[in-house]
């Protein structure tokens, strides 16, 4: 799924639960299973940071944020 700048900005402004739900949906479409519980606000802020900047999503940073959360919450 490719995200345009407008969509990324809208996601970045959404609340934690909405953003996490979208991330889970996108990940699920790619075959990844993420925990249902929304990560802590600090983790979500880091994830939001991947949506800002020059209009491109840093997938490597998003993966690092999600991988760190999964490691901290293996039973999610």
Over its length of 76 residues, how does the chain's per-residue pLDDT go in tens digits? Answer: 566 778 888 888 999 999 999 888 888 888 888 889 999 998 898 888 877 755 455 556 677 777 777 787 776 5
Mean pLDDT of the chain: 79
Domain count, the chain: 1
Asked if 12 and 48 touch (Cβ cutoff 8 Å), the reply is: yes
- Give me the pLDDT at residue 14, please: 93
pTM above 0.85, yes or no: no
Task: Write out the residue range of the structural domain in which residue 25 sits.
Answer: 5-72
> Can you read off the two tokens belonging to residue 32?
């990844």
Q: From CA 42, how far away is CA 45, in angstroms rounded?
A: 5
């Amino acid at each position: 799924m490719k995200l345009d700048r407008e969509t990324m900005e809208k996601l970045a402004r959404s609340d934690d639960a909405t953003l996490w739900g979208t991330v889970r949906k996108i990940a699920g479409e790619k075959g990844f299973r993420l925990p249902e519980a929304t990560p802590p606000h600090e983790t979500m802020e880091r994830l939001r940071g991947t949506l800002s900047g020059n209009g491109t999503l840093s997938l490597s940073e998003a993966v690092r944020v999600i991988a760190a959360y999964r490691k901290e919450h293996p039973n999610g």
